[in-house]
């Protein structure tokens, strides 16, 4: 473990930014935090987390897949893949780090998604332990410890110092560059902080939320639960929950005709949208109840069934904070799971 | 702090439910915390007693739900309407979007709703309880030993700071006292932007709109956006891009949306309330309202049922589009 | 290296009954107006919805002008009155968003006003040229 | 410069033949630009065809895998992509990627079995690949029965091939039906599910179903009524797809992705899925 003083964090950023593009959470004019490209003057945010999740770095909301040039009856396909820039994302919370594992299982399973894979290969994740979790946090429900974030390098920040621990080869390589700016240290201060956080975690209002009643093999049991109707009755069918979610990974592929060629691009899509499954001959999820159910069943039953019981939710609490009608996965789990409280 | 109490609303709802006047009640349902209120359809007195809430966070405008909910039931549905909600209610009636006979509207007074983001800006994350008490709101957090006292008026939502009316323009029954139309300063912010140079205006909106994630929450929460099929959902429209592909896309979406509700927007402020990126979308709508007031005379959408929206009307002596700028430039 | 002279691309929506005929007349009378004015014929000026205007800008127009019959002369009685209200509101909104107001215009041109058509286009093109390329409402994907 | 594999990037294909089958179905023959078959496939698998600027859509490969020269797709006109395709002429290039999905278990489960194919309308398209495959390796399978129905005689897909080739094969019985009586039609009239019941098949067969959802539903009931077990019945599903490889989330039903885990399902497997297809 190595450390530096809080004042020298800026020099650490400067050092990292020499070799790779660095993104850190920074405050916006409206007070919320957003991952911002670091340059001199960009200040590390004290906010708990960003509104948009860091999945953008690997699975951007919109990316060009390829281009076509057409002439008469002929088509030329142009491979435009160029995701080769090294970058570092600093300050990723434990929940969001876990979300990469969930996305990896989708995009890195055969056939590998080369766009995502290239970004993963070129990205270094520096995580940041939480000190003041919000009431909306429930990462511990999914076995995530916010005091012990994973990632290539784990970072703890106290009032005066910043501690670094590298976990992977990529992390070790990055830490080597920071050798001059940091010094070797004991884990005492970090251990003290961890203890403090775990005490806070026990006090969180959602501390007792469990995944009991969910998981692979529960489809039959949960699918026809009458509570879906009640839970979804005022769902607006917008995509807020999906788009702020760090683990939602549905996408659409669309073509855009520029007048000089066609760009085929991929963009996030939402199973909450009425148009998501619409086909020429009909729609297999006609009402919002079915679409609503799909989103939560996918996170809590279908995904774990295909992925060794791993839930596709990390408890970051973004949907709790952002849903226009405050309907969210916690309310679903309490209502449908039935065994909570 | 609201003047009318939860008990009054529950009594009303339960009695109307029990005497058979209504079949269901559209109200605010209890959340996990004291501020995350979910619009809920209650069917029984038990459900109401257990789950109905009324506090400073009951901002959701129910008018929009009537379009879908009245189609689903045989009898009447009870809906609680705050003064600003009644304008949306009337506007939807004007557009024949739901059956008035199937609704029992109870007007309730509103002292303004709090914005949880503003509360959190003061108290930070980790709120474990919020108690409204008179002019003060007591916020208990996980990290402070004593509750933090906040002035209710300091955390009012933007739309409530600039409340345009405490008067109900539609109801079957009114609980509490009737208010008056308020002379608000809601166009001040618009005027401030108008006074900027084009470069500054562009920079301002670029900064705001570039945050858009095209989640469609503004559209889906809007009581004026009730088209059965939105142009932005139609793959054949050529604009169903789903993602803010570049600076054109995000501007286009918001210009078209604001234009589509121009003259019909009652300025209820739901769009800005629901925006996960805090984009001040009401400033687009208010610009249209302000322009319409200046060009074609004062008009408040929803003030009365059956009024003709200014953009589907005309007079032979209307202002020319070019004169709009001349007039503004001479005024400035 | 030769620098190409900048000529603005103007999209002119012309109503079928008056302005398009006016443009025709301008042509017949050999009245010069910029060749970069692309005329799109519409049944009535009120056929132009805001999306048309935005789409023109997206696809590289530097200025958009809508021409219709003089108020009171609409072939469909009242179409241009609606145009007048809509475009007043829309153009004011575009200005509010920082799109230079000189890039948009509504002009009434009758079938007999070939000279006015040419003069209007010359004047509009000149004003737009002074502003340079439309950078505020362009779609970068179309620029390549 | 990219050497990385990417399934989303297609190949260019050329339409070398367009056959008008019915008023709204055409069959397209597709090869790559160098005149070869784009890729090998198994019966029941699908491919993504697209026209840049119009869209991409999943189609079942109609031709048999035993055809080494080209692929065929029978496509009904019903959406943007298909409408565009129906206007396409010979020589038109399109893009193609695949093969996607699981095939029918023709090389293991079906071997030695009597096969009963039941199709309605354009539902014959995916089955044609299987039927021709089984006819090619005729000695591996028992008797083959084919029940095929459509709205009218003109709407019967591959009518010529059915009459000239399938019906003349030894051990292959073809039963055709149309929904309403029609001049010049002396065959059976009636809906497919009823016809299946009337024919009253022995349960010593493996049934393969494809057609509109309503036909599948009633035929399934009919077969079960005849004593068939659901493990003896196979069908193929169709849902909206974008990626073809189980990532975009569109065709997700229960824990299955139709593009990757389907489109071929045994009916008892379908019972395990929520009824959302």
**Nearest partner of D34 among D59, D13, D55, judged by Cα:** D13
Percent of chain A past pLDDT 90, that is, above it, reads: 73
Q: Which of A219, A264, A280 sits opposite D79 (nearest CB)?
A: A280
D-chain CB neighbours of A294 within 8 Å are: 252, 276
Q: Which of A48, A135, A200 sits opposite B33 (nearest CB)?
A: A135
- Please write the tens of the pLDDT for every residue from D17-59: 999 988 889 999 999 999 899 899 999 999 999 999 888 999 9
**How far is it, in rounded angstroms, from Cα B8 to Cα B48?**
12
Chain C closest-CA separation from residue B291 CA (Å): 7
How do the pLDDT tens digits run along chain B, 332 residues long? 788 999 999 999 999 999 999 999 999 999 999 999 999 999 999 999 999 999 999 999 999 999 988 887 889 999 999 999 999 999 999 999 999 999 999 999 999 999 999 999 899 889 999 988 778 899 999 998 899 999 989 999 999 999 999 999 999 999 998 999 988 889 999 999 999 999 999 999 998 998 899 999 999 999 999 888 888 888 777 777 677 767 788 889 999 999 999 999 999 999 999 999 999 999 999 999 999 999 999 999 999 998 999 999 999 999 999 888 887 776 65
Q: Give, as one character, the DSSP assignment of residue D230.
A: G
Relative to beta strand A62-71, strand A74-79 is antiparallel
**How far is it, in rounded angstroms, from Cα D195 to Cα D215?**
11
Is C137 within 8 Å of B251 when comparing Cβ atoms? Answer: yes
Nearest Cα residue in chain C from A261: C142
Relative to beta strand D11-22, strand C104-108 is unpaired
Does B142 lie in the same domain as B34?
Answer: no
Nearest Cα residue in chain A from C58: A258
Least confident of D46-55, D158-167, D218-227: D158-167
Is A249 within 8 Å of D247 when comparing Cβ atoms? Answer: yes
Q: Which of A70, A216, A280 sits opposite D52 (nearest CB)?
A: A70
**How far is it, in rounded angstroms, from Cα B332 to Cα A287?**
52
Residue C6: which pLDDT band, with cuts at 50, 70 and 90? Answer: confident
CATH class of D11-100: mainly beta
pLDDT at A341 over 50: no
- Please write the tens of the pLDDT for every residue from D202-219: 888 899 999 888 888 889
Domain assignment present for residue B1? The answer is: no
CB interface of A with D, residues 24-83, below 8 Å: 65-66, 68, 70, 73-77, 79, 81
Q: C with D: 3 or more CB pairs under 8 Å?
A: no
CB contact A152 to D (< 8 Å): no
Mean pLDDT, all residues of chain D: 88
C-chain CB neighbours of A259 within 8 Å are: 59-60, 142
* Mean pLDDT value across residues A279-304: 89
Chain B closest-CA separation from residue A94 CA (Å): 17
Domain positions in chain D are 11-100, 114-236
DSSP string, C113-140: -HHHHHHHHHHHHHHHHHH-S--SS--G
CATH class of C10-142: alpha beta
Q: Which of B205, B248, B288 sits opposite C89 (nearest CB)?
A: B288
Number of domains in chain B: 3
Domain assignment present for residue B182? The answer is: no
If phi > 0 it is left, if psi is from -120 to 50 it is alpha, else beta; for residue C42 that is beta
Q: Which residue out of C46, C94, C136, C142 would a mutagenesis test of the B interface target, given it has the greatest number of B Cβ atoms within 10 Å?
A: C136
Nearest Cα residue in chain B from D80: B236
Q: Where are the alpha helices (DSSP H) in D37-161?
A: 80-87, 124-136, 159-161
Is A256 within 8 Å of C141 when comparing Cβ atoms? Answer: yes
Chain B closest-CA separation from residue A251 CA (Å): 10
Residue B136 near residue B69, CB atoms below 8 Å: no
* Mean pLDDT value across residues A184-201: 91
D-chain CB neighbours of B235 within 8 Å are: 55, 80
Does B220 lie in the same domain as B304?
Answer: yes
Q: Which chains touch B (3 or more CB pairs under 8 A)?
A: A, C, D
pLDDT at C144 over 70: no
Write the CA distances from C35 to C3, C4, C109, integer angstroms.
Answer: 19, 16, 19
* Mean pLDDT value across residues A99-105: 95
CB contact B42 to C (< 8 Å): no
Q: Which of B245, B255, B321 sits opposite C106 (nearest CB)?
A: B321
Q: Which residue out of B255, B261, B297 would a mutagenesis test of the C interface target, given it has the greatest number of C Cβ atoms within 10 Å?
A: B255
Q: Where are the alpha helices (DSSP H) in B95-228?
A: 116-123, 158-161, 188-194, 198-209, 217-221
What pLDDT does B331 receive?
62
Write the CA distances from C16 to B320, C111, C114, D164, integer angstroms.
Answer: 21, 10, 14, 58
CB contact A258 to D (< 8 Å): no
pLDDT at C5 over 80: no
Does B226 lie in the same domain as B89?
Answer: no
3-state secondary structure of C21: helix
Is C144 within 8 Å of A259 when comparing Cβ atoms? Answer: no
B-chain CB neighbours of C141 within 8 Å are: 245-246
What pLDDT does C13 receive?
96
CB pairs under 8 A, 24+ apart, for B135-143? B135/B1, B136/B1, B137/B1, B137/B56, B142/A132, B142/A135, B142/A200, B142/A203, B142/A204, B143/A132, B143/A200
Instruction: Give the structural domain span for B275.
Output: 188-331
What pLDDT does D17 receive?
92
CB contact A329 to B (< 8 Å): no
Is C96 within 8 Å of B201 when comparing Cβ atoms? Answer: yes
B-chain CB neighbours of C81 within 8 Å are: 314-316, 318
Domain positions in chain A are 2-203, 219-337
**How far is it, in rounded angstroms, from Cα C20 to Cα B26?**
55
Q: Which of C58, C78, C84 sits opposite B248 (nearest CB)?
A: C58
Does B312 lie in the same domain as B165?
Answer: no
Which of residues C107 and D153 earns the better pLDDT score? C107
- Please write the tens of the pLDDT for every residue from C60-79: 899 999 999 999 999 999 99
Is C84 within 8 Å of B314 when comparing Cβ atoms? Answer: yes
Is C78 within 8 Å of B314 when comparing Cβ atoms? Answer: yes
CB contact B131 to C (< 8 Å): no
Chain A closest-CA separation from residue C6 CA (Å): 20
- Please write the tens of the pLDDT for every residue from A74-83: 999 999 888 7
Does B19 lie in the same domain as B93?
Answer: yes
- Please write the tens of the pLDDT for every residue from B113-159: 999 999 998 998 899 999 887 788 999 999 988 999 999 899 999 99
Chain A closest-CA separation from residue C101 CA (Å): 26
* Mean pLDDT value across residues D236-261: 88
Q: Can you list the positions of beta strands (E) in chain D?
A: 11-22, 25-32, 46-51, 55-60, 71-76, 93-100, 114-120, 144-150, 172-178, 188-189, 205-210, 233-236, 252-253, 256-257, 264-266
**How far is it, in rounded angstroms, from Cα D256 to Cα A303?**
10
Write the CA distances from D141 to D40, D45, D174, integer angstroms.
Answer: 22, 20, 16
A323, two tokens: 């849903």
User: Distance from first CA to last CA of chain A, Å, rounded?
Assistant: 40
Residue D2: which pLDDT band, with cuts at 50, 70 and 90? Answer: low
D146, two tokens: 């084919």
Sole residue written with tokens 């409206």:
A30
Chain B closest-CA separation from residue C2 CA (Å): 31
pLDDT at A155 over 60: yes
Q: Identify the sign of the CA torsion C87, C90, C96, C98.
A: negative
- Please write the tens of the pLDDT for every residue from D87-109: 999 999 999 998 999 999 988 88
Q: Which pTM value belongs to this model?
A: 0.91
CB contact A263 to C (< 8 Å): yes
Nearest Cα residue in chain C from B251: C137
Q: Where are the alpha helices (DSSP H) in chain A?
A: 9-19, 94-107, 114-122, 169-177, 188-203, 219-223, 227-232, 240-244, 288-297, 303-306, 318-322, 329-332
Q: Give, as one character, the DSSP assignment of residue B235.
A: G
Residue D1: which pLDDT band, with cuts at 50, 70 and 90? Answer: very low
Residue B144: φ, ψ to 5° = -115, 140
B-chain CB neighbours of C98 within 8 Å are: 198-206
Q: Which of B201, B205, B314 sits opposite C85 (nearest CB)?
A: B314
Fold exhibited by the domain D114-236:
Rossmann fold (3.40.50)
């Amino acid at each position: 473990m190595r450390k530096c003083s809080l004042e020298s964090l800026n020099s650490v950023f400067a050092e990292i930014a020499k070799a790779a593009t660095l993104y850190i959470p920074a405050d916006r004019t409206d007070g919320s935090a957003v991952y911002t490209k670091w340059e001199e003057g960009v200040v590390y945010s004290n906010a708990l987390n960003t509104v948009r999740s860091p999945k953008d770095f690997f699975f951007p909301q919109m990316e060009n897949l390829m281009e076509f040039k057409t002439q008469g009856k002929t088509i030329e396909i142009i491979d435009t893949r160029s995701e080769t820039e090294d970058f570092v994302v600093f300050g990723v919370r434990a929940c969001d780090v876990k979300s990469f594992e969930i996305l990896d299982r989708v995009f890195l399973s055969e056939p590998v998604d080369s766009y995502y894979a290239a970004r993963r290969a070129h990205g270094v994740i520096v995580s940041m332990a939480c000190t003041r979790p919000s009431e909306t946090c429930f990462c511990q429900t999914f076995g995530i410890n916010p005091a012990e974030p994973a990632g290539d390098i784990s970072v703890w920040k106290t009032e005066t110092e910043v501690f670094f621990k590298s976990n992977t080869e990529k992390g070790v390589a990055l830490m080597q560059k920071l050798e001059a700016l940091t010094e070797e240290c004991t884990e005492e201060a970090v251990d003290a902080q961890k203890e403090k956080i775990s005490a806070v975690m026990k006090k969180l209002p959602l501390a007792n939320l469990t995944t009991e009643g969910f998981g692979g093999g529960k489809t039959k049991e949960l699918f026809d639960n009458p509570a879906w109707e009640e839970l979804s009755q005022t769902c607006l069918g917008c995509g807020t929950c999906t788009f702020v979610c760090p683990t939602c990974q549905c996408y659409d592929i669309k073509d855009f005709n520029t007048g000089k060629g066609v760009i085929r691009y991929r963009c996030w899509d939402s199973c909450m949208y009425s148009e998501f499954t619409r086909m020429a001959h009909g729609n297999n999820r006609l009402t919002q109840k079915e679409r609503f159910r799909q989103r939560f069943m996918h996170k809590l039953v279908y995904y774990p069934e295909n992925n060794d019981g791993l839930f596709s939710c990390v408890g970051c609490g973004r949907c709790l904070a952002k849903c226009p009608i405050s309907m969210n996965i916690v309310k679903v789990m309490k209502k449908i799971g039935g065994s909570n409280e | 702090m609201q003047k009318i109490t939860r008990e009054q609303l529950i009594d009303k709802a339960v009695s109307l439910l029990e005497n058979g006047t209504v079949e269901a009640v559209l109200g605010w349902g209890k959340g996990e915390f004291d501020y995350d209120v979910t619009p809920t359809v209650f069917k029984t007195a038990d459900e109401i007693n257990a789950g109905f809430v009324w506090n400073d966070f009951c901002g959701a405008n129910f008018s929009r739900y009537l379009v879908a909910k009245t189609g689903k039931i045989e009898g009447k549905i009870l809906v609680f309407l705050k003064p600003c909600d009644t304008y949306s209610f009337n506007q939807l009636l004007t557009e024949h979007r739901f059956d008035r006979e199937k609704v029992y509207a109870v007007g309730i007074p509103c002292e303004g709703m709090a914005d949880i983001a503003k509360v959190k800006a003061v108290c930070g994350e980790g709120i474990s309880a919020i108690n409204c008490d008179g002019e003060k709101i007591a916020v208990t957090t996980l990290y402070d030993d004593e509750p933090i006292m906040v002035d209710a008026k300091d955390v009012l939502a933007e739309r409530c700071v600039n409340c345009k009316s405490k008067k109900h323009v539609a109801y079957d029954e009114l609980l509490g006292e009737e208010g008056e139309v308020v002379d608000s300063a809601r166009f001040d912010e618009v005027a401030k932007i108008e006074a900027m140079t084009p470069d500054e205006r562009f920079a301002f909106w670029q900064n705001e709109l570039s945050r858009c994630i095209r989640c469609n929450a503004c559209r889906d929460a809007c009581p004026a956006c009730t088209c059965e099929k939105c142009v932005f959902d139609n793959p054949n429209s050529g604009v169903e891009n789903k993602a803010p592909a570049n600076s054109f896309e995000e501007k286009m979406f918001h210009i078209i949306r604001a234009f589509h509700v121009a003259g019909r927007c009652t300025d209820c402020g739901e769009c800005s309330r629901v925006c996960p990126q805090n984009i001040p979308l009401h400033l687009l709508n208010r610009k249209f309202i302000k322009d319409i007031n200046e060009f074609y005379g004062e008009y408040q959408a929803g003030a009365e049922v059956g009024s003709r929206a200014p953009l589907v009307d005309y007079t032979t002596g209307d202002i020319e589009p070019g004169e709009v700028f001349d007039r503004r430039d001479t005024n400035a | 290296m030769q620098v190409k002279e900048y000529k603005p691309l103007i999209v002119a929506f012309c109503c079928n009954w008056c302005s398009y005929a006016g443009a025709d007349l301008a042509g017949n009378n050999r009245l010069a107006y910029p060749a970069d004015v692309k005329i799109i014929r519409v049944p009535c000026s009120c056929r132009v919805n805001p999306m048309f205007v935005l789409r023109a800008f997206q696809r590289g127009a530097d200025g958009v002008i809508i021409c219709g019959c003089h108020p009171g002369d609409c072939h469909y009685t009242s179409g241009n009155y609606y145009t007048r209200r809509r475009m007043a509101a829309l153009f004011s909104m575009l200005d509010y968003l920082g799109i230079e107001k000189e890039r948009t215009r509504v002009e009434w041109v009758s079938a007999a006003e070939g000279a006015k058509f040419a003069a209007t286009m010359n004047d509009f093109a000149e004003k737009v040229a002074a502003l340079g390329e439309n950078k505020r409402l362009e779609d970068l994907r179309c620029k390549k | 410069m990219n050497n990385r594999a990417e399934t989303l990037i297609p190949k260019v294909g050329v339409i070398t033949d367009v056959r008008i089958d019915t008023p709204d179905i055409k069959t397209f023959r597709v090869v790559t630009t160098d005149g070869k078959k784009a890729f090998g496939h198994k019966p029941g698998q699908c491919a993504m065809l697209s026209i840049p600027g119009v869209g991409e859509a999943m189609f079942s490969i109609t031709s048999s895998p035993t055809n080494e020269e080209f692929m065929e797709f029978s496509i009904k006109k019903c959406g943007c992509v298909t409408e565009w395709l129906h206007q396409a002429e010979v020589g038109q290039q399109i893009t193609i990627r695949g093969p996607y999905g699981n095939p029918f278990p023709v090389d293991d489960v079906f071997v030695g079995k009597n096969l009963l194919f039941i199709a309605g309308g354009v539902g014959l398209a995916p089955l044609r690949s299987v039927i021709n495959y089984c006819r090619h390796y005729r000695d591996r399978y028992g008797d083959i029965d084919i029940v095929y129905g459509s709205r009218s005689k003109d709407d019967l897909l591959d009518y010529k091939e059915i009459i000239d080739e399938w019906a003349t094969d030894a051990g292959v019985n073809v039963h055709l039906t149309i929904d309403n009586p029609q001049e010049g039609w002396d065959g059976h009239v009636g809906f497919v599910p009823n016809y299946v019941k009337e024919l009253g098949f022995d349960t010593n067969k493996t049934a393969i179903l494809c057609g509109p959802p309503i036909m599948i539903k009633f035929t399934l009931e009919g077969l079960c009524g005849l004593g068939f077990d659901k493990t003896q019945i196979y069908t193929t599903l169709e849902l909206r797809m974008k990626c073809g490889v189980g990532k975009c989330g569109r065709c997700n039903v229960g824990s299955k992705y139709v593009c990757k885990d389907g489109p071929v399902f045994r009916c008892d497997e379908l019972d395990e899925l929520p009824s959302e297809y």
